Amino acid sequence: MKNNPISIIGSRKTKQISETIAHKIFVICAFFAVLSVASITVYMIINGTPALTKVGILELLFGSDWSPTAANPGYGILYVILTSIIGTAFAILIGVPIGVLTAVFLSDVAPKKLAAIVKPAVELLAGIPSVIYGLLGIMILNPLMYRLELAIFKDSATHQFTGGSNLISAVLVLAVMILPTVINISEASLRAVPEHLKAASLAVGASKIQTIFKVQIPAAKSGIITAVVLGVGRAIGEAMAISLVAGSAVNFPLPFNSVRFLTTAIVSEMGYAADTHREVLFTIGLVLFAFIMIINIILTRILKKGNKNDD
């Protein structure tokens, strides 16, 4: 009997023991995740706040002079914050329409054979490591951008040439990177739209396209918004790919400027930073953390609302 511990014929005692052990394992596992989140939060706050008081909140968050190693150091991260916000916003503007329409295509329009090609391709896109996106960006996107830059700023006396490492390159890379997230979640929510809604719409004479845009997408709205919010989270947290294509100089986020995002600001300078400089990098981490938290709170709100609507 001992050799077959999960048998339901086992004695009551062994059953009880295995039940308690299983229960404890579940508790420990659950506690592990909570512990991680709690310790990360505490750690970020402890390490991120000293610089806020040392440098001054206003000067840090709204200063535009980033020269941490100068004799007269400046720790303003305004341009970095703006870059992250604007870069993410444009990546969403480009990525979401493409993603949602791909989702529509996959769930309603595509012939089965074609969907069998597109779907795995999207899934593969999600699995590609971000550094690969960055490398492709360097090799393909940046030279193209440089040609565009040379043509546009041919006669400009003030423009500083960046060799194609600019905000546009970063936005394009981010837009591609959020596609899998947006497509997969949108598609799932579109497929979850009850068949009778579609049937009713078609029955009253609406065309297929009208049905998609007037009935199905509105019905899948909460799922699509979830997809967008998760896309924002992915874009704002991405570091590796954009550190390769964005140029990483701290500038106001104009399309052809070399820019630095919150994530790349930490990654690029952590190696050698010391003292206040290092503490400010932790503060940048805290700002990023705050952004992600806000995004998550919005997400849970949306999901709650969605559930209520479904009831």
Interface residues with another protein (CB under 8 A) are 2-3, 5-6, 14, 17-18, 21, 66-72, 138-139, 142-143, 146, 150, 153, 160-165, 243-244, 247-250, 258, 260, 267-269, 271-274, 277
Nearer to another protein, 142 or 201 (CB): 142
Smallest separation (angstroms) from another protein to the CB of 258: 5
Comparing CB distances to another protein, the nearer of 2 and 196 is: 2
CB of 3 to another protein, least distance (A): 7
Structure token pair of residue 102: 């791909």
* Nearer to another protein among residue 69 and residue 210 (C-beta): 69
Neighbours of 17 (CB within 10 A): 13
Exposed e or buried b per residue across 254-275, where buried means at least 16 C-beta atoms within 10 angstroms of its C-beta: ebbbbbbbbbbbbbbbeeebee
Sort 87 into a burial class: Cβ within 10 Å, 0-12 / 13-18 / 19+: buried
* CB nearer another protein, residue 45 or residue 150: 150
CA distances (Å), origin 156, targets 146, 159, 256, 260, 274: 15, 6, 13, 23, 38
Least Cβ distance, residue 70 to another protein (angstroms): 4
Nearest approach in angstroms of CB 5 to another protein is 4
Enumerate the β-bridge partners of residue 259: 247
Question: Which helix (H) or strand (E) segment is 66 a member of?
Answer: strand 66-67
Question: Distance (Å, rounded) from C-alpha 251 to C-alpha 240?
Answer: 19
Shorter beta-carbon distance to another protein: residue 247 or 285: 247
Task: State the DSSP H helix or E strand holding residue 74, giving kind and residue range, or none if neither.
Answer: strand 74-75
Residue with tokens 């014929």: 9
- Identity of the residue, 107 or 169, whose beta carbon is nearer to another protein in the bound complex: 169
